[in-house]
Chain A
Amino acid sequence: MSVSLINWFKFSSPASFYPLAGRLVPWFATIFFLLLCVGLWIALMMAPTDAQQGEGYRIIFVHVPASWMSMFIYCVMAFWSAIGLAFNTRLSGMMTSALAPTGALFAFLSLWTGSLWGKPMWGAWWVWDARLTSQLILFFLYLGFIALQAAIDDPRRADKAGAILALVGVINVPIIYFSVQWWNTLHQGASVSMTKAPSMAHIMLAGMLIMALAFWAYAITMALMRVRCIILERELASEWVKRNAME
């Protein structure tokens, strides 16, 4: 077994992950703040107006990163769920629960900013097209996950039930992503994808990517802070928490 592998397993124990998470939080919080400042500066001051949509398009700098994060966080939750079910590790369940509220927030932000954007550009707050409907389902999956976990008292059983919901729901993520290709939708296609060159001016793209990185740092910060609370709650009876509380 290599050295790095041993370290991985060391940090899969809540007792050793708790202080590591505590050390990482200020770093990611700082990165978030710096990236947010740069990203917003580019988005609001440097990026030019759009030929079609004028100034209104600027909501893209929040809308697209929030939508990406809402899908990505769900995938990470599904990943931790699979690990938790297969290896029966405690920390993976805690990570899944810690990520859910942030994912729900981003899904809501995506729907909300999309609605604000849709009214002036399309002429409607909401339409039942495939992209919007599948994103709404993602939001409900997040809420369902949180509600399901809250409804079960035993944390280990709650983790297991939540993990199955997260794994079943992950099928929705590719549906959201490809909905604009598979069906006729009012929502336009992707401006940025792996298969073609981005169809945006470079400075707009830079602003959007920096905002996405900022949201990424925010999600990590929040998840680590939340997982620390969850660890303390669940390990309350253990020796090391008592020792920590004494200090």
Chain B
Amino acid sequence: MKPRHKKLLLIVGGVAVLGIAAGLVLNAFRSNLVFFYTPTQIAQGEAPKDKAFRIGGLVKTGSLKRDGLTVHFIVTDTRKDTTVSYTGILPDLFKEGRGVVAEGKLGNDGQFTASQVLAKHDENYMPPEAKAALDQAQRQTARTLQP
């Protein structure tokens, strides 16, 4: 083996070892690196108590209630629900049925009081006409599936 090939092999090996080390560290930190907890995780008691954290999920359709500047809504991951109340201005993309991430504290009654609400959008980009067509197709499928 030529010395320069040996050197190249050493470099590749070194980077591979560093990569594995980084992978193991990240894997160990996995649970601490979450940006938000889902309602299911909260129901299972995985979320921190007496400490601010973020909750993420979809705003349950029909759950949004306005009370002056305060809004109440339910965050769902389709299995569990968490009730959230928030006083302040909501981002433009905040809508029922859309993604949301709220930061705040969980009360003893299971109510989440948010200090900040962020809208989470998906990675789909399409013109409004395409979206309307897609929604209509979905509604039709839902109708035909109903008994």
Contacts and interface: CB of A to CB of B under 8 A. Distances in A.
A50 B126 contact: yes
Contacts of B120: 122, 186, 188
A57 interface: yes
Contacts of B126: 50-51, 200-201
A27 to B, nearest CB: 32
Interface string A139-160: 0000000000000000000000
A48 B127 contact: yes
Interface of B: prevailing SS:
mixed
B interface residue count range (under 10 / 10 to 19 / 20 to 34 / 35 or more): 35 or more
B4 A88 contact: yes
A12 interface: no
Given A124-B118, A168-B18, A183-B33, A199 B11 contact: no
A interface residue count range (under 10 / 10 to 19 / 20 to 34 / 35 or more): 35 or more
A18 B91 CA distance: 53
A120 B92 contact: yes
Interface string B36-56: 111000000000000000001
Most buried by B among A121, A123, A175, A204: A123
Interface of B: 4-5, 7-8, 11-12, 14-15, 18-19, 22, 26, 30, 33-38, 56, 90-94, 101, 116-132
